Amino acid sequence: MDQKYAGHTLLQSVPFGNEMLASRLVMAPMTRNFSPEGVPGENVAQYYRKRAENGIGLIITEGTAINHPAAVASADIPHFYGEDALNGWSNVVTEVHQAGGKIIPQLWHVGAARKIGSVPNIDSPPVSPSGFTLRGSRNEKIKALTKKEVTEMIDAYAEAASNAKRIGFDGIELHGAHGYLIDQFLWEVTNKRKDEYGGDLGERTKFAADIVRACRKEVGPDFPIVFRYSQWKGTDYEAKLAKNSNELEQLLTPLVDAGVDIFHCSTRRIWEPEFKDEDPSLNLAGWTKRITKKPTIAVGSVGINRAYRSNHDNDNITIEDNLTIIDEKIKAGEYDYVAVGRALLADSEWAVKLKNGKLDQVLHYTKESEKHLF
């Protein structure tokens, strides 16, 4: 048996809040649409359990809908409200904990990314900070949230956080990335508000910071709050919230002050520097940790041999290359955890095969196979 990766830094036990994770490996949140009427069943519980019992330290669930009629755009995306859905999630937590893992829900509202007339609530219009599309154009069919509705939305996130703690989760993740609702408040293209929830970059953080603060009030000081953010959007891979490290500090400082414990820094390629003119080696997670002094999760094409949306220049990047880079970066203190997405979607035993030197036996992800994978 090849022991090449048996002692890899990814496989080390590491703190998470007041608890310990079995490894630095995090299962990235991935939407699957396998929860009819928003209720996660036994198949969902076993899906997450398999990853926990095969060496994944922290599982972040697929995005879950907060209690708002336009939160998501599918009847099969799991809810994080209502007795049936929460009972289903309670069972998921039990299964993961029995397998020795930790698990947090990702709390989600898609905002203007929701198409008009989407199920499950076809009469509920998409909502956004200012009634703008993700392309930056005004659309009268997208509802701009009133101040009262903003407050109600914040309360919905806080309610979900309270539910997470009550049913035994190990923390929460707020989805503030990829052009969804929280990100729409952060981004100048979609936030044109004239009240206290709009303005310059620091001022546009108020919605996210108020959500963090409200969640913290519900869960207390020792319950981890993870905040996921990205520069890129689903509609614009070249988008930037922050064009340099000074702007990134303006973005992150209010979130730290509000109570974020860990930042999950979503990038498409983990090895790419964020501000290469300032530092040719630090990725977004590295910059975030340098600025905030908070633990960070790095992510981006870790477990696959062809980078996400790659061009020809990325074809030579291999899983082994990534593992070498990750080992160096963790040892240098640039980030603390590493999230793996599609590789874990395809193969629940990915971490065990890594540990045992059997990467050549990994089941590889394909789009067609996704619907069959558990």
Structural domain includes residue 3: no
Select from 14, 17, 40, 41 the least CA-distant residue to 25.
14
Q: What is the pLDDT of residue 310?
A: 47
Mean pLDDT of 256-266: 98
Q: What is the pLDDT of residue 368?
A: 63
Look at residue 84 and give its three-state secondary structure.
helix
Number of structural domains, the chain? 1
Q: What is the pLDDT of residue 371?
A: 54
Structural domain includes residue 156: yes
Per-residue pLDDT tens over the stretch 39-92: 999 999 999 999 999 999 999 999 999 999 999 999 999 999 999 999 999 999
Structural domain includes residue 44: yes
Structural domain includes residue 63: yes
Structural domain includes residue 234: yes
Q: What is the CATH number of the domain that holds 243?
A: 3.20.20.70
Per-residue pLDDT tens over the stretch 306-360: 544 445 455 567 888 899 999 999 999 999 999 999 899 989 999 999 999 888 8
Structural domain includes residue 2: no
Strand ranges in the chain using DSSP code E only, listed in sequence order: 14-16, 19-21, 25-27, 58-65, 102-108, 127-128, 143-144, 172-178, 225-233, 262-266, 296-299, 337-340
Q: What is the pLDDT of residue 314?
A: 52
Low-confidence winner among 102-116, 142-156, 298-312, 320-334 (lowest mean pLDDT): 298-312
Catalytic sites, residue numbers:
180
Structural domain includes residue 215: yes
Specify whether the CB–CB gap between 72 and 108 falls below 8 A.
yes
Structural domain includes residue 1: no
3-state class percentages of the chain: helix first, strand second, coil last, to nearest 5:
35, 15, 50
Look at residue 296 and give its three-state secondary structure.
strand
Q: Rounded to an integer, what distance in angstroms lies between the CA atom of residue 112 and that of residue 110? A: 6
- The parent domain of residue 352 ranges over 9-372
Tell me the pLDDT of the chain averaged across its residues: 94
Mean pLDDT of 113-121: 96
